[in-house]
């Protein structure tokens, strides 16, 4: 009877028999256990736990069927009292059925252990929603894990940040995490014995902890045990860029600068290539632009179009804008108001064309450019900035200080000390 009821729930006959004969249930009579099974199924349906979740939960913890409904409901109420929603609780049950085998005291203590580390209650809830299993880790095991991670080269601040965005780290074995670090060192062409290279990879992981979730090509069992993503390895992800036309050097540089691009699939990368080609850049130019500033993979297309339109509205031709982007792709990431101020100032002194044709100069702050322009006007005799010598405005800081005896901070302070009217008059 019990086996047939479990088969109705979706188990194979073999799985149903294994559950029926499990240690927590083997002592029950058929009649008693059948009633418990029916009561449990009715209860879980009432609180909207899916049949898929029920099957996973009962198979993992058959003893759940031996608990009273009052016991099950009390566990649920205690978890909800921590701030979780009913929907989050149901997801938690599916991801971590073992929650029913832990005492509520243990679960609350585990929840509070993360708060003691400095996480807010809201953050801990998000962490648990992302990886329910972390709520079952004891204080001693959590501290032990953090010490082991420090042994790999992470510091506490890095561990804290990574745990916030990738709490699965607290459940992954340290040897497994170390294998991930080594794999990324190989991917990036680093010497696996280099501490400096290892520190770079650790910094990269801290910036984008999701990198730890990507398959590195270990055996399937080990990947499943650590609950990583589908079998699409980091080397496959790397090759996605190579197959599209990026060089290995460009791809490695992009990953180091913007690790999140490792999360892009081929369709995402090609979509961004197509977008820039739609803006009249060749594929070769597009690859060069994205390789120079990999953050462009993440910018909203509407934001990029809006930025181009704002520059165009200032009277700069589209051909000139294209040259600006090719010479200095990061111009698309600059705050539009600050960029507009830079262009307006250069236009006011008759040097707009020069800065447009040499767009890399736009990385300098407008305040410093204005301060230097003013400074040159105070020299005896005054130095007039013209198209022939406009690069004087963008002279490297150390060279400027050696030549004139003032630091950038000093001439900016001098400029800031003027009244607004005198400042513009100068």
How many whole angstroms separate alpha carbon 5 and alpha carbon 11?
Answer: 9
Contacts of the segment 296-304: beta carbons below 8 A, 24+ positions apart? 296/272, 296/329, 296/332, 296/333, 297/258, 297/261, 297/264, 297/268, 297/269, 297/272, 298/258, 298/260, 298/261, 299/332, 299/333, 301/275, 304/275, 304/332
Q: Which of 231, 235, 228 is nearest to 252 (CA)?
A: 235
pLDDT of residue 26: 85
pLDDT at 226 over 90: no
pLDDT at 414 over 90: no
Q: How far apart are the first and last CA of the chain?
A: 95
pLDDT at 218 over 80: no
287-303 residue pLDDT tens: 999 999 999 999 999 99
Task: Give mean pLDDT, residues 335-359.
Answer: 93
pLDDT at 224 over 70: no
Single pTM value for the model: 0.78
Specify the range with the lowest mean pLDDT, choosing from 54-63, 67-76, 151-160, 417-426: 417-426
Tell me: cis bond preceding 135? Omega within 30 of 0 counts. Answer: no
Boundary-marking domain end, from 294, 311, 342: 294
* Chain mean pLDDT for the chain: 90
Same domain, 215 and 149: yes
Q: Which of 388, 315, 328, 389 is nearest to 358 (CA)?
A: 328
22 belongs to a structural domain: no
Boundary-marking domain end, from 207, 231, 255: 231
How many whole angstroms separate alpha carbon 335 and alpha carbon 318?
Answer: 19
Q: 393 is written with which tokens? A: 């405005």
93 belongs to a structural domain: no
How many whole angstroms separate alpha carbon 66 and alpha carbon 44?
Answer: 14
Contact present, 321 and 312 (Cβ < 8 Å):
yes
How many whole angstroms separate alpha carbon 164 and alpha carbon 54?
Answer: 29
| Burial label, 126 (beta-carbon count in 10 A; 0-12, 13-18, 19+) | middle
Boundary-marking domain end, from 245, 260, 294: 294
Same domain, 226 and 202: yes
47 belongs to a structural domain: no
Number of domains the chain contains: 4
pLDDT of residue 283: 96
346 belongs to a structural domain: yes
Q: Quick one: three-class SS letters along 242-266? A: HHHCCCHHHHHHHHHHCHHHHHCCH
Q: Which of 252, 307, 239 is nearest to 279 (CA)?
A: 307
Same domain, 173 and 202: yes
183-199 residue pLDDT tens: 999 999 999 899 999 99
Identify the domain containing residue 402 by its residue range.
364-426
């Amino acid at each position: 009877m019990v086996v047939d009821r479990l088969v109705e729930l979706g188990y194979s006959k073999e799985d149903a028999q294994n559950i029926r004969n499990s240690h927590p249930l083997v002592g029950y009579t058929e009649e008693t256990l059948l009633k418990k099974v029916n009561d449990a199924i009715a209860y879980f349906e009432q609180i909207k736990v899916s049949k898929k979740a029920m099957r996973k939960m009962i198979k993992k913890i058959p003893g759940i069927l031996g608990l009273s409904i009052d016991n099950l409901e009390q566990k649920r109420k205690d978890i909800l009292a921590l701030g979780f929603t009913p929907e989050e609780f149901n997801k938690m049950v599916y991801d971590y059925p073992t929650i029913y085998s832990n005492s509520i005291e243990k679960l609350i203590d585990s929840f509070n252990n993360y708060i003691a580390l400095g996480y807010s209650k809201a953050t801990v809830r998000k962490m648990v929603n992302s990886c329910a299993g972390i709520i079952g880790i004891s204080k001693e095991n959590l501290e032990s894990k953090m010490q082991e991670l420090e042994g790999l080269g992470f510091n506490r601040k890095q561990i804290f940040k990574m745990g916030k965005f990738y709490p699965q780290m607290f459940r992954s074995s340290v040897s497994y995490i170390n294998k991930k670090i080594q794999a990324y060192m190989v991917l990036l062409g680093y010497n696996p014995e280099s501490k400096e290279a290892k520190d770079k990879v650790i910094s990269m992981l801290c910036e984008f902890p999701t990198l730890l979730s990507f398959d590195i090509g270990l055996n399937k069992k080990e990947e499943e045990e650590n609950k990583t993503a589908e079998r699409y390895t980091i080397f496959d992800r790397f090759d996605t860029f190579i197959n599209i036309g990026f060089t290995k050097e460009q791809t490695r540089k992009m990953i180091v600068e913007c690790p999140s691009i490792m999360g892009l699939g081929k369709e995402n990368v090609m979509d961004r290539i197509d977008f820039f080609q739609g803006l009249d850049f060749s594929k070769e130019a597009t690859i060069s632009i994205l390789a120079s500033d990999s953050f462009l993979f993440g910018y909203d297309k509407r934001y990029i179009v809006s930025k181009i339109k704002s520059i165009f509205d200032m009277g700069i031709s589209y051909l000139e804008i294209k040259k600006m982007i090719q010479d200095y792709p990061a111009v698309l990431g600059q705050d539009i108001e600050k960029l507009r101020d830079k262009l307006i100032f250069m236009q006011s002194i008759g040097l707009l064309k020069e800065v447009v044709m040499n767009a890399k100069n736009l990385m300098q702050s407008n305040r410093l450019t204005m301060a230097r322009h003013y400074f040159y006007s105070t020299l005896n005799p005054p130095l007039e900035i013209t198209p022939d010598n406009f690069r004087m405005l963008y002279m490297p800081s150390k060279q400027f200080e050696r030549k004139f005896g003032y630091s950038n901070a000093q001439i900016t302070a001098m400029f800031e000390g003027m009244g607004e009217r005198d400042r513009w008059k100068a």
